[in-house]
Amino acid sequence: MTSSAAHDVSFLRLTSLPMLLEREIESMILDGRLSEGGRINENQLAATFGVSRGPVREALRSLEALGLVELLPNRGVFIRSLDIAQVVEMYGVRAALFGYAAQLLATRAEPDVIARLRALLDEMGEAAQAHDFDRYYPLNFAFHDFIVERAGNGVLTAQYRGLVKQLRLYRAGNLMTGNTLELSNEEHARIVAAIEGRDAASAYQTSFDHVERGKERLLARSASAGRAEEQSA
């Protein structure tokens, strides 16, 4: 064998067919490329990838544990569909995790972190003023993810991202209307201020509240949508 010594590098295969399939199927689900009624057909899936069903089934088991699909014995695999109650619960947990991330970050708050947060804040501000949701959305995502990532807790990052991933299953439009963008970014500003001020308690609270308010907005929209549905029925 070739080099090793210092850092036993592991040129070893880093991926495998089931892992590859898992990633691919996951993106098919999240991109909505697969939701023909929510059912996933093993044969068909295996055929499109040109592999046998074994590795596909293994990938689906992983996706089940990640909360992206549901496995009903003898019935098949279904893309998990979230009802509003579950989404609300997820938002709560996400609020707690995000709050904790901000709290941790506040105890460090290195200059480059602050700078990056301020930059994102400014960009979001511009997008918000322009009511440009398509520009705001990825910045908003980056802002949250950056705080979590830089909190420096890998377990936290994994849990948070897993939750956000599951949340993507809930397609009801994340559309914020009009000045909601500006309100949202004001909350961001408070978060950054708390982190910059090394105020851990405030960082937690403002961040927690920020996600909770997102939940409220979602609930409000869901309620009115529910009423509309009832009327049309």
Partner DNA sequence: CAACATTAAATTGTTGACACTTTGAACGAG
Partner DNA sequence: CTCGTTCAAAGTGTCAACAATTTAATGTTG
Closer of 72 and 233 to a copy of itself (Cβ):
72
Closer of 50 and 111 to DNA (Cβ):
50
The secondary structure element, H or E, covering residue 71 is: strand 69-72
Residues 29-48 as x/- pattern, contact with DNA by CB under 7 A? ----------xxxxxx----
Q: How many CB atoms neighbour CB 77 within 10 A?
A: 22
Q: Which residues contact a copy of itself by CB under 8 A?
A: 1-2, 12-16, 18-19, 37-38, 54, 57-59, 61-62, 64-66, 71-75, 78, 81, 86, 89-90, 92-93, 95-97, 99-100, 104, 153-156, 159, 163
Compute the distance between CA of residue 49 and CA of residue 34 in angstroms, rounded to an integer: 14
Name the one residue in this structure whose structure tokens are 């809930």: 170
Please compute, for residue 176, the number of CA atoms within 13 A of its CA located in the half-sphere on the CB side.
Answer: 23
Which ranges of 31-151 would DSSP assign to H, the alpha helix? Answer: 42-49, 53-65, 84-106, 111-129, 133-150
Q: Which stretch binds DNA (CB under 7 A): 27-35, 49-57, 116-124, 150-158?
A: 49-57
How many residues are listed for the chain in this entry? 233
Q: Is 99 in the site for DNA (CB under 7 A)?
A: no
Site residues, DNA (CB under 7 A): 12-13, 16-18, 39-44, 50-55, 57, 71, 73-77
